[in-house]
């Protein structure tokens, strides 16, 4: 479906209204979540990120707690990051964002060999079909994690939603738990509602003692914070958006798998 120019203008006009409502909803869900900080640290995890930065934003403190507890963690980033920011050549974006990913993960305590980049084309995950499901299933078979952390099918970004859907199919029958972390839900009230409809109430992990390092790890992704990358706009990695990932806890929604 293509939206008419009038509808696009209306949607854009509503963004400043949606942002504070989405923030209120997210903060309420976070406060009401069940604190699983102690048990989470000892559950091995495969963290699936659609783009370089989602793993750090959504689960940076959770990753650090696991690493500090000696628990196995691997990060698999699915897309190559070639399209963003749009004013740069794709090859430059791929190189810069891969370097940012590895630098950020080192701050989280992950060695380079625990960070895998699958290099699917960015913005095209909704067309990847079974290829994406098979790639995720391979990673789950290789790492046999207790938990798979991934973006939600209800995330408004199409790459994030496609990965959430593929992970649900790939994790089914493996015995791993599937836990969805929110990213762009912080900009869209309706996507919080859809996240809840598709999952159980949130489990939370405290960021206490890890926030300074998490902020440092997020700051590494400077390519995504420039004006050209939307860093000064409502849908970019602007300071008001990043604030949601430097709060007192991280949130994970348990997703039922068939």
- What's the min distance (Å) between Cβ of 53 and Zn ion? 6
Comparing CB distances to Zn ion, the nearer of 43 and 51 is 51
Task: Judge whether 255 and 214 are in contact, CB under 8 Å.
Answer: no
**In the bound complex, which residue of the shown chain has the CB atom lying closest to Zn ion?**
51
Site for Zn ion in 44-73 (CB under 5 A): 50-51, 54
- What's the min distance (Å) between Cβ of 41 and Zn ion? 25
The footprint of Zn ion on this chain (CB under 5 A) covers a number of residues equal to 3
Comparing CB distances to Zn ion, the nearer of 86 and 201 is 86
Comparing CB distances to Zn ion, the nearer of 37 and 83 is 83
Q: Which stretch binds Zn ion (CB under 5 A): 30-38, 42-50, 110-118, 141-149?
A: 42-50
- What's the min distance (Å) between Cβ of 122 and Zn ion? 9
Task: Judge whether 148 and 140 are in contact, CB under 8 Å.
Answer: yes
Comparing CB distances to Zn ion, the nearer of 50 and 156 is 50
Interface pattern 179-218 for Zn ion (x via CB under 5 A): ----------------------------------------
Comparing CB distances to Zn ion, the nearer of 50 and 189 is 50
Dihedrals φ, ψ of 165, to 5°? -65, -40
- What's the min distance (Å) between Cβ of 98 and Zn ion? 15
Comparing CB distances to Zn ion, the nearer of 151 and 206 is 151
- What's the min distance (Å) between Cβ of 193 and Zn ion? 21
Count of other CB atoms within 10 angstroms of residue 167: 31
- What's the min distance (Å) between Cβ of 180 and Zn ion? 13
Q: Which stretch binds Zn ion (CB under 5 A): 43-51, 60-68, 108-116, 212-220?
A: 43-51
- What's the min distance (Å) between Cβ of 224 and Zn ion? 9
What string of H, E and C letters represents the secondary structure of the chain? CCCCHHHHHHHHHHHHHHHHHHHHHHHHHHHHCEECHHHHCCCCEEEEECCCCHHHHHHHHHHHHHHHCCCCEEEEEEECCCCCCCCCCHHHHHHHHHHHHHHHHHHHCCCHHHEEEEEECCCCHHHCHHHHHHHHHHHHHHHCCCEEEEECCCCCCHHHHHHHHHHHHHHCCCCCEEEEECCHHHHCHHHHHHHHHCCCCCEEEECCCCHHHHHHHHHCCHHHCCHHHCCCCCCCCCHHHHHHHCCCEEEEEEECCC
Comparing CB distances to Zn ion, the nearer of 51 and 102 is 51
Count of other CB atoms within 10 angstroms of residue 34: 11
Residues that bind Zn ion (CB under 5 A): 50-51, 54
């Amino acid at each position: 479906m293509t939206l008419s120019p009038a509808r696009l203008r209306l949607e854009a006009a509503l963004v400043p209204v949606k942002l504070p409502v989405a923030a209120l909803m997210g903060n309420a869900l976070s406060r009401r979540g069940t604190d699983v900080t102690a048990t989470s640290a000892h559950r091995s995890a495969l963290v699936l990120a659609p783009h370089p930065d989602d793993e750090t934003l959504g689960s940076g403190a959770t990753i650090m707690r696991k690493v500090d507890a000696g628990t196995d963690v691997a990060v698999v980033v699915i897309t190559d990051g070639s399209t963003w920011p749009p004013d740069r050549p794709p090859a430059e974006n791929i190189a810069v964002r891969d370097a940012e990913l590895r630098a950020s993960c080192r701050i989280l305590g992950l060695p380079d060999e625990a960070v895998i980049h699958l290099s699917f084309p960015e913005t095209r995950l909704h067309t990847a079909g079974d290829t994406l499901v098979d790639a995720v299933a391979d990673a789950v078979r290789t790492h046999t994690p207790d938990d798979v952390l991934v973006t939600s099918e209800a995330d408004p970004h199409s790459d994030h939603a496609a990965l959430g859907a593929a992970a649900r199919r790939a994790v089914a029958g493996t015995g791993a738990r599937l836990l969805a972390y929110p990213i762009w839900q912080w900009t869209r009230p309706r996507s919080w509602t859809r996240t809840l409809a598709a999952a159980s109430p949130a489990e939370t992990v405290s960021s206490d003692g890890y926030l300074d390092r998490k902020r440092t790890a997020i700051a590494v992704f400077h390519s995504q914070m420039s004006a050209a990358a939307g860093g000064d706009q409502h849908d970019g990695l602007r300071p008001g958006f990043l604030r949601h990932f430097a709060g007192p806890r991280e949130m994970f929604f348990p997703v039922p798998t068939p």
